[in-house]
Structure 1
């Protein structure tokens, strides 16, 4: 009697991890790219990110012959609500991030992305009814204490950090619910943002404030922003479709760690005692969360 063949391992999680690693490493290096823009407002860079991402994806979709799912999605407008939500959230996230780099507040951006896994935990509990264990609850509590410290000692909320964390955390949640593959979903998102971007660009041209087609260097950077934006988002969309929200949180640490190093070593941003205390609390919260998630996986395996 011939032995039965061993089951083929599911390669989708491994693919998801590879996609996630690629996305977060690229995102971590983004401050180096957006620091190259000089004198270009954040909102103008944002509209070019949208425009050139969409055009780049048109070519990619055509090359891969992937128009069928896109036509199907666009033919059912009532199902585009979640995609539109993703589009608006990612536009907010992009704009905030560019502003943070332009104003040399990359430490705040780093803090926001460190907080995102904890936001994912909270959203998973509130929206997806996922169970929050004690250590996870403690981690979310520590993050809240860190924000409170900044509010009390600095007299202001770290609004860039909070905006980045909640916009991207919610984007990940909605993206997981979109019945489109990564490439198709990303193209539809940028396509929905295209009319607003074109109107804004037309206004900039009319009032002679557009930097496009001015200096060659700036024009090439604006065009490149679309390609550089699309590649990690494609990778992230592929990861979000294959991995649990909590697993995405593990990989998320790579992005803010790279940004933290760039802020200190490249941009020379000052790290105050209050900021260091905030980061220490967030890192402790992430350690608790990681330990809790690892214990849960061990119990599940057993």
Structure 2
């Protein structure tokens, strides 16, 4: 039951992110940096208020826990938490830029490469073992990405940067244990805001005046940032980085569907084949979880 809750949290978080383009595309007229600035600043304020005034008891308990940790563990938690803030900042900026200035499909391609990178990095860094079925799923994913790369060669560099930043975030946070996950995320986002703050006066555009801009930024901050990221960190307490990586395919699959149906971006037979292989790879990778109950009942 405990694993199921963590697995469900991971699944729902990626479903939520699948709808991100619906909130982000209407902001296409605004600079990518501006969207990033206001998204991060608003997230930092919201999460700081929650941690300082709503979750005071949790904050005090975690400060006490942190002080009681051995010196090496404190250094590791601090390093992984701050590194996570840097990786999130990089991932958000490049994703927003690719989504609004390249194409929705290019952004989707980044998250097609990301699961493969996450799985491979987790295998070597975290020593996470994979079954033959799971390696078969990874192979299907590689084939699908190769197919898509033929028609998106110019976008590969952007996609790889987006993919690498989030792959390393997932793997690093799998090792970041001992502290409350919401508090860890709060520190990461506040750190991200501090990184961006010196650049705001020089690189921001004129202060937006449209109510729709702030309404969409609020939706992005809460629904597409705080909620799914917390669910990701919660899921990583039990779900392996490899499984998280493969579940990440839910995001680009939904992005691809929305790009096709809602934004009417062009599609060809190679893309249809590639995305079909990706869907199959999700089922194959998670066959033990999907069909486990049935096998147990038959046994």
User: Residue 202 of structure 1 aligns to a residue in which SS?
Assistant: helix
Q: TM-score, normalised by structure 1?
A: 0.80
Instruction: Give CA deviations for 1:257-300 in whole Å, capped at 9, x if unaligned.
Output: 32221111111111134433443444454454344777899999
User: Residue 242 of structure 1 aligns to a residue in which SS?
Assistant: coil
Between 242-251 and 35-44, report the one with greater CA deviation.
Answer: 242-251
1:263 corresponds to 2:259: yes
Quick check: 2:42–2:218 contact (8 Å CA) kept in 1? yes
Quick check: 1:150–1:158 contact (8 Å CA) kept in 2? no
1:118-157 aligned within 5 A: 118-151=116-149, 155-156=153-154
Q: Flag the 1:286–1:221 CA change in 2: closer, same or farther, 3 A.
A: closer
- Please report how far the alpha carbon of residue 49 of structure 1 lies from its aligned counterpart in structure 2 after TM superposition: 1.5
1:67 corresponds to 2:69: no
Quick check: 2:283–2:290 contact (8 Å CA) kept in 1? no
**Gaps spanning 5+ residues in structure 1: where?**
1-10
Look up the match of 2:164.
166
Quick check: 1:136–1:292 contact (8 Å CA) kept in 2? no
Instruction: Give CA deviations for 1:70-108 in whole Å, capped at 9, x if unaligned.
Output: 646887773311112211222222122222331362223
Between 262-271 and 42-51, report the one with greater CA deviation.
Answer: 42-51
Between 69-78 and 184-193, report the one with greater CA deviation.
Answer: 69-78
Aligned equivalent of 2:104, options 100, 103, 106: 106
State which structure, 1 or 2, has the greater radius of gyration over its C-alpha atoms.
Answer: 1
Between 245-254 and 88-97, report the one with greater CA deviation.
Answer: 245-254
Aligned equivalent of 1:92, options 85, 90, 93: 90
Between 58-67 and 252-261, report the one with greater CA deviation.
Answer: 252-261
**Gaps spanning 5+ residues in structure 2: where?**
none
| C-alpha distance in 1 between matches for 2:129 and 2:113 | 19
User: Residue 241 of structure 1 aligns to a residue in which SS?
Assistant: coil
Instruction: Give CA deviations for 1:210-259 in whole Å, capped at 9, x if unaligned.
Output: 334x2232234334432232121112211112322344345434323322
Instruction: Give CA deviations for 1:6-46 in whole Å, capped at 9, x if unaligned.
Output: xxxxx432331342233122211111011121421112211
| C-alpha distance in 2 between matches for 1:240 and 1:230 | 16
Look up the match of 1:192.
191
| C-alpha distance in 2 between matches for 1:112 and 1:29 | 16
| C-alpha distance in 1 between matches for 2:5 and 2:131 | 28
1:31 corresponds to 2:21: yes
User: Residue 243 of structure 1 aligns to a residue in which SS?
Assistant: coil
1:205-284 aligned within 5 A: 209-212=205-208, 214-228=209-223, 229-249=225-245, 251-284=247-280
Q: Flag the 1:246–1:293 CA change in 2: closer, same or farther, 3 A.
A: farther
Instruction: Give CA deviations for 1:104-148 in whole Å, capped at 9, x if unaligned.
Output: 622233333344333332122111122344444444344444444
| C-alpha distance in 2 between matches for 1:72 and 1:114 | 41
Q: Flag the 1:69–1:107 CA change in 2: closer, same or farther, 3 A.
A: farther
Q: TM-score, normalised by structure 2?
A: 0.80
How many residues are paired up? 288
Q: Flag the 1:267–1:152 CA change in 2: closer, same or farther, 3 A.
A: closer
| C-alpha distance in 1 between matches for 2:17 and 2:169 | 15
| C-alpha distance in 1 between matches for 2:120 and 2:260 | 30
Between 66-75 and 267-276, report the one with greater CA deviation.
Answer: 66-75
| C-alpha distance in 2 between matches for 1:145 and 1:69 | 48
